[in-house]
Structure 1
């Protein structure tokens, strides 16, 4: 039976000390894990033509994929579940595209759906990495030494996002051919033949 908090309980606690919802519900960890497993099972196609052992193996594999993404919070958990579903849907489309005897249009449609799902998976992976903090890094270079024959980028180099795509932005680029003229070789001259 669920406990109902009184109005005085919630008013007495500061917002950072409010108990999580689980504290008010009569649930246990087994029920919670079972619910997670059911959500993932609904994302995986388990045809009746498969034996019970094959269905269980397919489900166990989906759960392994979910766990390998190592979600650390609710947002990552939702994204990980979506990624498992996207992965299995893409595999189903690829599997259907490989069925012999189908029309070109049917095969083409399945391949296009698979391509869209695989692109979606890549976007989901980028979102997960960004949430994990792996998506963006900033490097500040304090000193640069350029030796004879070297090249250097002079100016601000930044990463910007435009419509979800990463773009490189360089304010100024300078090619440094040599540090000093005394060590530089004169440029090679080539003769060009003139056609009449």
Structure 2
């Protein structure tokens, strides 16, 4: 028999070598709505806003209200599901309003994905299986797309790494400028490469003398 966890206490799972953020307040659900369960309302709102990644009170209540609605099971919000969703949001640690909205969508999509997986497992006919399979596939493809969008947004200010190609002919050797690393970016020295070959490097003037030497020899022979 599986029993529901005690909602009056918070279970903390310790992780090695990791600083855990402040505990997120519980949400008290009622027929009239919901409220942040904290002895000090101001402190409770601040902790909830930090967990959701927003600084505005209206934004915090707006995202929280959307998560409450997304946790609805049947006709009423599910307290256990809501606590899980809030814990996942806090674990991802959104840093601004854009990330807060995207992360809220991610945890909601995950919950819906698992519900569709349950519906597929408990389907009793082909029609239910087909419907659950289509919904599960769409949601499963949406979640990694959201992860990619979050990663792109978080790394938008990081400089790109440029890799230059170098082609060397057979029998030759080339030395490219020094490769340095600064601020997690590989930068190639723009100084011209020092060309070293197995054969002796021929100066331009000497090449000119060799080109004209046969011509002078031919004229002398004709004379």
- Tell me the TM-score normalized by structure 2: 0.44
Instruction: Considering Cα pairs closer than 8 Å and 6+ residues apart, tell me whether 1 or 2 has the greater RCO.
Output: 1
Larger radius of gyration: 2
- Tell me the TM-score normalized by structure 1: 0.49
Which protein has the bigger strand share?
Answer: 2
